[in-house]
Chain A
Amino acid sequence: MDTVAVALHVNGDYVEANVLPRLNLADFLREHLQLTGTHVGCEHGVCGACTVRMNGEIVRSCLMLAAQAHRSSVETIEGMSDSGEIADLQAAFRDRNALQCGFCTPGMLIAAQDLLQQSPQPDREQIREHLSGNYCRCTGYQAIVDAIETIARQRAGRSP
């Protein structure tokens, strides 16, 4: 099978690769770049475990081809953790035990950060609504909603 050349930034690093046209972005990140924090749960865009940020917007990496990521900038949970961007959310998740097995958590954190960037002071219903594309089988969601609500308030308190 012929390959296609892709060049993109992943967590700020410039990456070039030749990939099969059918390779999806989740498998590219996991298998080619060993960024295994991006998880594959349902393989058809429902569960949200594979959520990453591309050019500032959250996407399902299992529904995108690696080739579609050409010339884009992709951020994964590893990059967003190292930059410190979501350190407050991670601390709140830890304090509130908003994760159990942790498999959904990278996608959950990225979706939560997306919400707080779009809508700095969401109420609980808005938080639940925004997370509706992210499944968690362990927590029952309440702790996740609590953690995000806490950080929304905390960030709002800090801003001028």
Chain B
Amino acid sequence: MTPRYPPEMLSVLDRPNSYIGKTVPRPNLDRLMQGRGLYVSDLELPRMAHVVFLRSPHAHARILGIEMSAARRMPGVIAIVSGSELASVITPWVGVLSHLKGLKSAPQSAIAIDRVCWQGEAVAAVVAASRAQAEDAAERVSVEYAALDAATDMLTALDPATPVIHGSLGDNLAFERNHDAGNVDQAFADADAVVEAEFVFGRHTGVTLEPRSVVADWNAGEARLTIYQGTQAPHMVQNIAALHLGLNESQVRVVCKDVGGSFGIKVHIYADEMATYALAKLLRRPIKFVADRVESFNTDIHARDHRCKGRIGVKRDGAITAFEIDDLTGIGPYSMYPRTSAIEANQVVNLVGGPYVTRNYRARARVVFQNKNVMCQYRAVGHPIACSVTESLVDLAAMKIGIDPIEIRRRNLIADDAYPCVSPSGLRFEQLSHHAALAKLVKMMEYDRLRAEQAILRAKNIHRGIGIASFIEVTNPSAAFYGVGGAKISSQDGVAVRLDAQGSVICQTSITEQGQGSESLTAQIVGSVLGVSMDRVRVVLGDTDNTPYGGGTWASRGAGIGGEAALQASKALRKNVLDVAAAILQSTPGELEIVNGRVVSVADGTPRIELSELARIVYFRPDTLPPGIQPELMATRHFVPREYPFAFTNGVQASWLEVDTDTGFVKLLKHWVVEDCGTIINPQLVDEQIRGGVVQGLGAALFEKCVYDERGQLTNANMVDYLVPMPGEMPDIDVGHVVSPTLESELGAKGAGEAGTAGAAAAVSNAVNDALMPLGVTITEIPLTPQVILTALGKI
């Protein structure tokens, strides 16, 4: 008889009733929809006290004295703690990594000691029985400051006349990287046209709807600290907290329940969070810190804030001969810990020109200190800068020689059959699909029809534009990102899968959930590989005591790395289950298979034993098993990519919009994305990651900017004045896919979380410039506010 489904010939992904590639609802959404989630801000513990941080109103000042006596007499006050007092329980840190050669930073304390370096840096902690009481008491703390000159403008940060923020470092240069590949000078000399532009990117931030929140609980009786925190990387938090509090990692447990948005904001360690851990230890009780919205704007990491000069050479036939960039970014007074603030500029150097064939590429990136809030990695780190610079230069080159934006990309994108290959900056690409993606995009958006419509409307003085942006995205990072530089940030992830006594499955994974669908993709993989229905798979994540060791969810790594660990663990458990089943049934594992929660015969699908019955025998009547059998109904596997440092993905985005040249307002009409994240586990979840990512990129393109004055004061630190995308302004977004699985894993999945953000602003900028082309105006600054547009049009 022919086997119905020979298991050795089919991939585990093709098994009967596989959930891979299927849209299924995420488990446990009802809890969130009924208001029964548990975010850290909801958490209350016995004897819990609340901390409020008194923060510096100055961008740069010496602390001459802090008067706390009046505040200490306020109702409910438990303690008021200065930076030097807190330093008795927590050591300072320096945010550098050894693989970013030359990166320097100064020691940073949990609470400022003697000097504050940005508006918003904490100068004292006020702990009281309630948050309101702590806020009342904080108003009675008086701090005497001597204001210092502030270095706020990154353009002048390196000038001799500008004060050096940390004298011990010698200057305000945190990091510089230079790269030179091919023969750039010759390539520009050979070009028929060279176009230059300077690009300005506004400083913006993540605005997670739930602010950063921590409850730290030091139990002196067991000498153990439990940290409840909405973090993307629990084991990283465990390591850092232990290191600086003088504890063993086994003395620190990090628990991460529901997280109200992260986007990279919650992958770092912030000084106020460190202070909260330390206060719990100092005061021997649970301490809760929930940032208010003003604090969020002043202390959540900011991102972007780059000025980048770019140059492109092009031949008359459209061949791009070279790219050159000179990028400058200001990161605040300290490099963040432990991931550092040099990664974004480093990524810009890595990624510019990445989709294209030219071998000639020169880049310089400089990262400078300034007296503003810290900057660090936020969703799509560096990609929006690199993509906007590259794609804008490509469009400018096309305009210069008079060819269509689609055509210049067709002529220069790396061919789909040219892989594997290496970019001029040294990135290794396993398999990308730029041309297939572009072809699909052109079809989806009906490019020619839109061009015709645009021409008709132009005649009526309606300015619509089409913007195209190809992109590459770093996903599935190996140790090359952080580990090689000495950071204790795991690049591998682990999954443990076990059969419980009723034949259901419990799965513990080291990736985390902040709404991306980590829990769903894990359950889909485990259910598919094991042959049980998804609703019988319970996924446990976000607890260093109860999951394998691993990196967490960031850098588009959850599905590709954690998903593969889940697949391998499930395969191992399946084998173990079939071994036991064969012993019970006096068969062989090769003759058996698991389908729909029961062991069946491979030959004809005949049910042989329910998993619940198998589990009952193993757990309660092992005496009935044949001698010598020791069942292992639990399996653990770990995974990290080893062949490629990163699994690059690619894609292309398009924007269709209308510019009102009288008001300067941009109306987004439609947005398209075609991307290639390899194997798609759940199409709906991938599409929604793309859409959410696009909208964050659209926010950067049109609205979002942290506006500082020249004294280093953040002037729009609230959600009225800092604009984020609202539903009425956002377009519908069509998403298409090309599928090139990575061969590094059996699953074949790459990441999808940041692709949307990577290219959205570039597509919008190009569309605005396309709309304004008849007016002879090119704008190379985001956000594209009405003021920026009207200024460029000479109307204000």
Asked if A71 lies at the interface with its beta carbon under 8 angstroms from chain B, I say no
Q: Report A-chain residues with C-beta under 8 Å of the C-beta of B292.
A: 43
Contacts of A109 in B (CB 8 A): 33
Establish whether residues B261 and A145, one from each chain, have CB atoms under 8 Å apart when the complex forms. Answer: no
Beta-carbon contact of B727 and A132 below 8 Å:
yes
Contact with B along A30-69 (1 / 0, CB 8 A): 1000011111111110110100000000000000000000
| In contact, A137 and B263 (Cβ under 8 angstroms) | yes
Residues of A within 8 A of B30 (CB): 90, 94
Q: Is B207's CB under 8 angstroms from A137's CB?
A: yes
Closest chain A residue to B262, Cβ basis: A101
Given contacts A81-B33, A138-B515, contact A49 B692 (CB under 8 A): no
Scoring B residues 37 to 73 as 1 if CB is less than 8 Å from chain A, else 0, what string do you get? 1110110000000000000000000000000000000
B728 A140 Cβ-Cβ under 8 A: no
A131 within 8 A of B: yes
A135 close to B724 (CB less than 8 A): yes
Residues 236-262 of chain B, each 1 if its beta carbon lies under 8 Å from chain A, else 0: 000000000000000000000011111
| Residues from chain B with Cβ under 8 Å of A100 in the complex | 261, 514-517, 688, 692
Q: A43-B292, A46-B720 are in contact. Are A103 and B728 (CB under 8 A)?
A: no
Whether A134 is near chain B, meaning CB under 8 Å from some CB there, is yes
A71 to B261, CA, bound (A): 36
Question: Is B685's beta carbon under 8 Å from chain A?
Answer: yes
Q: Decide: A140 and B691 in contact? CB cutoff 8 A.
A: yes
Separation in Å of the B143 CB from the closest CB of chain A? Answer: 24
State which of B39, B206, B685, B725 has its C-beta within 8 Å of the C-beta of A103.
B39
**B698, closest chain A residue (CB):** A140
Report whether B261 and A37 are in contact in the complex, using a CB–CB cutoff of 8 Å: no
Q: What residues of A have a CB within 8 angstroms of the CB of B35 in the complex?
A: 35-38, 76-78, 81, 106
Query: How long is the Cα–Cα vector from A16 to B83 in the complex, in angstroms?
Result: 43
- B727 near A99 with CB under 8 A, answer no
A142 contacts the other chain (Cβ, under 8 Å)? yes
Task: Say yes or no: A40 contacts B41, CB within 8 Å.
Answer: yes
Q: In this assembly, does B209 line the interface, its C-beta being within 8 Å of a C-beta of chain A? A: yes
Contact (Cβ within 8 A) A144 B727:
yes
The answer to whether B29 and A101 have CB atoms under 8 Å apart is no
Q: Known contacts A39-B260, A90-B33, A102-B32: does B42 contact A97 (CB below 8 Å)? A: no
Question: Number of contacting residues on A, CB 8 A?
Answer: 55
Cβ of A151 under 8 Å from chain B: no
Q: How long is the Cα–Cα vector from A40 to B209 in the complex, in angstroms? A: 8
Asked if B208 CB lies within 8 Å of chain A CBs, one says yes
Other-chain contact of B33, A42, A93, A138 (Cβ < 8 Å): A93
Q: Are A142 and B34 in contact (CB under 8 A)?
A: no
User: Which residues does chain B contribute within 8 Å of A47, judged by CB atoms?
Assistant: 209, 719
Closest chain A residue, CB of each to CB of B718: A44
**A143→B688 contact, CB < 8 A:** yes
| A128 at the B interface (CB under 8 A) | yes
Are B293's CB and A128's CB within 8 A?
A: no
Task: State which of A38, A99, A131 has its C-beta within 8 Å of the C-beta of B515.
Answer: A99
- Whether a CB of chain B sits under 8 angstroms from the CB of A119 is no
Q: Is the CB of A37 within 8 A of B718?
A: no
Q: Is B161 an interface residue (CB 8 A)?
A: no
A 132-160 to B, binary, CB cutoff 8 A, 1 in contact else 0: 10111111111111000000000000000
Tell me which of B36, B258, B696 has the highest count of chain A C-beta atoms within 10 A of its own C-beta: B36
Q: Does B684 contact A (CB under 8 A)?
A: yes
Give residues of chain B (699-731) contacting chain A, Cβ–Cβ below 8 Å.
718-720, 724-728, 730
Digitize A116-129: 1 where CB-to-B-CB distance is under 8 Å, 0 elsewhere: 00000000110111
A95 at the interface (CB under 8 A from B): yes
The docked-state distance in angstroms from the alpha carbon of A106 to that of B30 is 11
| B694 proximal to A (CB < 8 A) | yes
Cβ of B660 under 8 Å from chain A: no
Query: Which among A125, A132, A138, A143 is the interface contact of B726 at CB below 8 angstroms?
Result: A132
Nearest CB in chain B: distance from A129 CB, A: 5
B139 contacts the other chain (CB 8 A) = no
In the complex the two chains form, is B209's CB within 8 Å of A97's CB?
A: no
Interface residues of B in 663-710 (CB under 8 A from A): 684-685, 688, 691-696
Q: In the assembled complex, which residues on chain A have CB atoms less than 8 Å from the CB atom of B691? A: 139-140, 142-143
Residue B410 lies at the interface, judged by CB distance under 8 Å to chain A: no
> Distance (Å) between the CB of B447 and the closest chain A CB?
22
Instruction: Given A37-B34, A139-B692, check contact A42 B259 (CB 8 Å).
Output: no
Chain B residues contacting A78 (CB-CB under 8 Å) are 34-36
Report the bound CA distance from A42 to B292 in whole Å.
8
**Nearest A-chain residue to B43, judged by Cβ:** A36
Contact of A99 among B33, B206, B695, B732 (CB under 8 A): B33
A116 to chain B, nearest CB (A): 15
B784 to chain A, nearest CB (A): 19
Does A113 sit within 8 A of B, measured CB to CB?
no
Q: Are A101 and B515 in contact (CB under 8 A)?
A: yes
Return chain A residues, CB-CB under 8 Å to B39. 36, 39, 103
Q: Which residues of B contact A129 (CB under 8 A)?
A: 727-728
Q: Which residues of A contact B718 (CB under 8 A)?
A: 42, 44, 46
Closest residue of chain A to B33 (Cβ to Cβ) is A90
Name the distance in Å between B704's Cβ and chain A's nearest Cβ.
11
Those of B711-756 within 8 Å (CB) of chain A: 718-720, 724-728, 730, 732-733, 756
Q: Given the known inter-chain contacts A38-B35, A42-B718, please indicate yes or no for A101 contacting B25, CB distance below 8 A.
A: no
Q: Which residue of chain A has the shortest Cβ distance to B206 in the bound complex? A: A137
Q: Are B293 and A101 in contact (CB under 8 A)?
A: no
* Docked pose: A37 CA to B41 CA in angstroms: 11
- Given B41, B211, B688, B693, which contacts A97 in the complex, CB threshold below 8 Å? B688
Could you say which residues of chain B place their CB within 8 Å of the CB of A81? 33-36
Q: Does A104 contact B (CB under 8 A)?
A: yes
Q: When the two chains form their complex, are residues A44 and B720 in contact, meaning their CB atoms are under 8 A apart? A: yes
State how many angstroms separate the Cβ of A51 from the closest Cβ of chain B: 11
- Known contacts: A78-B35, A94-B30, A143-B691. The answer to whether A101 contacts B727 by CB under 8 A is no
- Chain A nearest Cβ from B669, distance in angstroms: 12
Given A100-B516, A101-B515, A103-B261, the answer on whether A134 and B33 have CB atoms closer than 8 Å is no
CB-based contact A139/B688 at 8 Å? yes
Residues from 15 to 33 in A contacting B, C-beta threshold 8 Å: 20, 22, 30
Q: Which residues of A contact B33 (CB under 8 A)?
A: 77, 81, 90, 93-94, 99, 102, 105-106, 109
> Is the pair A136, B688 in contact by a Cβ cutoff of 8 Å?
no
Given known pairs A47-B209, A103-B260, the reply for A140 and B34 (CB within 8 Å) is no
Residues 426 to 455 of chain B near chain A (Cβ within 8 Å): none
CA distance A106 to B36 in the complex (A): 10
Are A128's CB and B261's CB within 8 A? Answer: no
With contacts A129-B728, A135-B724 known, is A140 near B733, CB below 8 A? yes
Q: Which residue of B lies closest to A133 (CB)?
A: B726
Docked Cα-Cα span, A72 to B692, in Å, equals 38
**B695 lies within 8 A of A140 (CB):** yes
Shortest distance in angstroms between B698's beta carbon and chain A's nearest beta carbon? 8
Please encode chain A, from 75 to 95, with 1 for each CB lying within 8 Å of some chain B CB and 0 for all others: 011100110000000100111
Measured CA separation A105–B37 after assembly (Å): 11
A142's partner among B41, B258, B719, B732 (CB-CB below 8 A) is B732
How far is A18 from B187 in the complex, measured between Cα atoms in Å? 77
Return chain A residues, CB-CB under 8 Å to B29.
93-94, 99, 102
Write the nearest CB–CB distance from B609 to chain A, whole angstroms.
34
Is A101 in contact with B514, judged by CB distance below 8 angstroms?
yes
Chain B residue with minimal CB distance to A129?
A: B728
A-B pairs with beta carbons under 8 Å apart, 8 shown: A36-B35, A42-B718, A47-B719, A99-B29, A137-B261, A138-B692, A140-B695, A141-B725
**Beyond A36-B39, A81-B33, A137-B724, 15 extra complex contacts between A and B, CB < 8 Å:** A36-B42, A94-B29, A97-B517, A100-B517, A101-B259, A101-B261, A102-B37, A103-B208, A131-B727, A135-B726, A139-B692, A140-B692, A140-B694, A141-B730, A143-B691
Q: Which residues of A contact B (CB under 8 A)?
A: 20, 22, 30, 35-44, 46-47, 49, 76-78, 81-82, 90, 93-97, 99-106, 109, 124-125, 127-129, 131-132, 134-145
> Ordered nearest first, which 7 A-B pairs have the shortest CB separation?
A37-B35, A102-B32, A100-B515, A103-B260, A140-B695, A101-B515, A77-B35
